[in-house]
Amino acid sequence: MTSDPSDFRTRVASAFDADGVLARAQPGFAERSGQRAMALAVADAIASGEALVAEAGTGTGKTFAYLVPALLSGARVLVSTGTRTLQDQLFRRDLPAVRQAFGLGARLALLKGRANYVCRHHLRRNLEEGRFERRDDIAQLRRIERFAALSRTGDRSEAPGIAEDAPIWAKATSTRENCLGQDCPDLADCFVFRARQAAQQADIVVVNHHLFCADLALRDEGISELLPTAGAVIFDEAHQLPEIAVQFFGRSLSTRQLGDFARDLLRIGLADARDAADWSAVSAGIEQAVRVWRLAAGRPGRRDAGQLRADREHREALAGLLGTLDATVPLLEAAAQRSRDLIRLALRGEELRRRLASWLALLDAAAADRSPPASTDRSPAAATDRSPAASRGAGSAFDDGDDRERSTASGDDAPPDPMLDEAVLWSEVHQGGVTLHATPLSVAPALKRHRQQHLRAWVFVSATLSVAGDFRHFTESVGMSDARTLQVDSPFDFRSNARLLVPQGCGDPGSDAYAERIAGVCWPLLEANHGRAFVLCTSLRMVERLAGLLRERADRQAEPLELLVQGSAPRAALLERFRSAERPVLVGSASFWEGVDVVGQQLSLVVIDKLPFAPPDDPVLRARTEALRRRGGDPFREIQLPAAAMALKQGAGRLIRSEADRGLLVVCDERLLTRSYGRRLVSSLPPFGIIRDLDEAIDWLVGEPALLSAWDDEAGSPA
């Protein structure tokens, strides 16, 4: 830490002057009082070792507002992001730019979870054994082998010609369960080991929330070694942190994990201890037990502890699976000394067995489940699929983070977790299989405990941390009720350049005809705007329904709009196509509500199907609301409404991304204006002018040609 706090503060403030360091180094830099105020608040937090929660509206320049004091402080700083995309951007673009502007020699490091790095050992073993499921697997593995031979980092995001989410990476990377650690013959050339060594020597280390939380929960990702020497931890995209933490402080067991285990058992058993057991039969037995469980789990959806205890067939399937694992583990232990891989496999089998046994024991010990309250207007959500407000929960299918299923187990070295004494037990049946969850009611005690162990600055930054100026929902969720709060409004002129349409006549969001009514509202807007629109839905069911209705209309056009639908291609490919197409309309759900930046005319219309309340049948939400109700609280106003407000603010934030942007936000749900709670939601949004008439909205959208020409001169505003 710099020795003179007053000089530190002066240097930070002057950096943002109209003729300051950043103005001289960054073309298009504009002096912004909000950016300077935030930078000084971050500097004060670092100097005092206190907690800061800062909400910065779009266009504030929040990234530079925390990077400048972080670099000038001279302290070791951990910067954690919600997504790997932002993590890479900070490390490869923003941090080097600030460092160069100030002429600093700060050492930078990028640290990701081990599944992001090529594992030479597993790559070589899979190539040698030659067991491939797809015709092009061998060619892709050879390509990864060539990449690993030339790469300094082994980071899969840098591998040419292979998508980051390609299935083949499972054969070229390691997990916590199968990593050989210090026993690995390739330790000296291990990319994970190198990345952790670089982080130990760096001044600024860029991680992500998944990695940070996994390490706090499991002490297994190298961050716990960095925390004691860090002067500050800065969380960008901090609104994602509470639910990401839930995933790691909880426990889960899935059919996918067990299927991977069965396949690895067959492969390693035949290669290293063929005569020790009938590995084909053992593997087949596990796969059969998993199939029985999958069939017994029933239709897609989520079930709480009470429903699971009452389902005899499901309980018997899990008991049978536990018996199969009980018989498998001794076979692996007997053969374990044949190879390092068998030792790890035996430990992995015991971990899976213990996890299932613990989950069943918790289920037996759980108190009788309460029936959910009848749906009322004070709990205004009804959707089969998750809304953005719920999609960040445990096991979310909308997340684009690290593969948590393969790394959230509680191993021998994991500390006992008192939060699981109040765990919410539930299961989820999804397209990929079944997952059992034990989810803590809150991670606030754990995060608070970790901060108390490392008393230094914890800074939380996002564009969505408050609800109508109230930060309590966020600060209480992360155990930082004593944190200083700061709200910096966006410098953009929303009153002039943006409108909010709440159309009349869409009716009840729970009605069968709601999708048709939304399509009827959307279509004239989409035609008038030549596409260039996001249609953001609160459920996957609505994505499919609306996409079908819009496609029927598009097919009748002479110049049809180009419909891009979530699930039809990878997210990155859809966004790339949207940016280049002439008349694009992207229909998507939670993964497109945030972290998407399309500047200018190409995105000038955002439609939101309904208010993003979490579905009331969510087992974790139900348990949290019941716990709050028992304490005398109001679950709707203290949990559901704040979560919906923050999700709505994220979705609305896709529209205006620069000073020159102009656009229309459409929220089809009339409850935004007709219900008493709607005022709180509206006050959480930027100051849009509100329109109720569809024709008036179309006139505004296609009007003011003088402003339209400004779109071509996109405002340059360094991060």
Q: Which residue has the higher pLDDT, 705 or 173?
A: 173
* CA separation for the pair 65, 37 (Å, rounded): 8
410-419, 497-506, 643-652: the lowest-pLDDT one: 410-419
Structure tokens at 356: 């299932």
144-148, 406-410, 533-537, 562-566: the lowest-pLDDT one: 406-410
User: 187 exposed, middle or buried (CB, 10 Å; 0-12, 13-18, 19+)?
Assistant: middle
Among the candidates 191, 215, 237, a domain finishes at 191
pLDDT at 475: 97
Total length of the chain = 719
Rounded to 5°, angle at Cα 406 from 342 and 590 = 165
pLDDT at 644 over 50: yes
Question: Is residue 621 one of the residues assigned to a domain?
Answer: yes
Bridge partners of residue 607, in order along the sequence: 535, 666
Do 480 and 498 share a structural domain?
no
Question: Is residue 439 one of the residues assigned to a domain?
Answer: no
Is residue 455 very low, low, confident or very high in pLDDT (cuts 50, 70, 90)? confident
Amino acid code (one letter) for 217: A
Question: Is residue 703 one of the residues assigned to a domain?
Answer: yes
Question: Is residue 615 one of the residues assigned to a domain?
Answer: yes
Do 178 and 98 share a structural domain?
no
Kind of pairing between the strands at 433-439 and 424-430: antiparallel
* CA separation for the pair 192, 113 (Å, rounded): 8
- Region 524-541: what's the mean pLDDT? 96
Question: Is residue 638 one of the residues assigned to a domain?
Answer: yes
- The CATH number of the domain holding residue 644 is 3.40.50.300
pLDDT at 1: 61
Is residue 220 very low, low, confident or very high in pLDDT (cuts 50, 70, 90)? low
Q: What confidence tens digit (pLDDT) does each residue in 353-410 have?
A: 999 999 999 888 864 444 433 333 334 443 334 445 544 333 322 223 344 444 333 3
* CA separation for the pair 88, 94 (Å, rounded): 9
pLDDT at 704: 55
Q: What confidence tens digit (pLDDT) does each residue in 279-310 have?
A: 999 999 999 999 999 999 999 999 999 999 99
Question: Is residue 399 one of the residues assigned to a domain?
Answer: yes
Is residue 633 very low, low, confident or very high in pLDDT (cuts 50, 70, 90)? very high
Q: What confidence tens digit (pLDDT) does each residue in 227-278 have?
A: 778 899 999 999 999 999 998 898 899 999 999 999 999 999 999 999 999 9
* CA separation for the pair 653, 238 (Å, rounded): 16
The strand ranges marked E within 305-372 are none
Phi and psi at 438, nearest 5°, equal -125, 105
- Region 539-567: what's the mean pLDDT? 93
pLDDT at 199: 93
For the chain, the domain total comes to 4
Q: Give every CB contact of residue 457 below 8 A, 6+ residues apart in sequence.
A: 45, 46, 48, 49, 50, 51, 52, 231, 232, 233, 234
Share of the chain above pLDDT 90, in %: 74
pLDDT at 539: 93
Is residue 85 very low, low, confident or very high in pLDDT (cuts 50, 70, 90)? confident
pLDDT at 228: 77
Do 315 and 335 share a structural domain?
yes
Do 347 and 458 share a structural domain?
no
Do 267 and 186 share a structural domain?
no
- Region 71-97: what's the mean pLDDT? 94
Is residue 210 very low, low, confident or very high in pLDDT (cuts 50, 70, 90)? very high
Structure tokens at 117: 């790095």
Residue 433 carries which DSSP code?
Answer: E
pLDDT at 37 over 50: yes
Kind of pairing between the strands at 433-439 and 498-501: unpaired
Share of the chain above pLDDT 70, in %: 89
Is residue 436 very low, low, confident or very high in pLDDT (cuts 50, 70, 90)? very high
Do 469 and 363 share a structural domain?
no
Question: Is residue 433 one of the residues assigned to a domain?
Answer: no
- Region 551-575: what's the mean pLDDT? 90
Do 627 and 565 share a structural domain?
yes
Do 695 and 662 share a structural domain?
yes
131-135, 365-369, 558-562, 643-647: the lowest-pLDDT one: 365-369
* CA separation for the pair 282, 296 (Å, rounded): 21
Q: Which residue has the higher pLDDT, 267 or 419?
A: 267
Do 626 and 507 share a structural domain?
yes
Is residue 420 very low, low, confident or very high in pLDDT (cuts 50, 70, 90)? low
pLDDT at 408: 37
Residue 331, Cβ neighbours under 10 Å: how many?
Answer: 19
Among the candidates 167, 191, 215, a domain finishes at 191
Do 610 and 464 share a structural domain?
no
Please state, rounded to an integer, the average pLDDT across all residues of the chain: 88
pLDDT at 21 over 90: yes
Do 708 and 582 share a structural domain?
yes
- Region 122-137: what's the mean pLDDT? 87
Q: Which residue has the higher pLDDT, 16 or 556?
A: 16
Residue 147 carries which DSSP code?
Answer: H
Question: Is residue 607 one of the residues assigned to a domain?
Answer: yes
Do 326 and 183 share a structural domain?
no
Full domain range(s) for residue 562: 494-712
Amino acid code (one letter) for 46: I
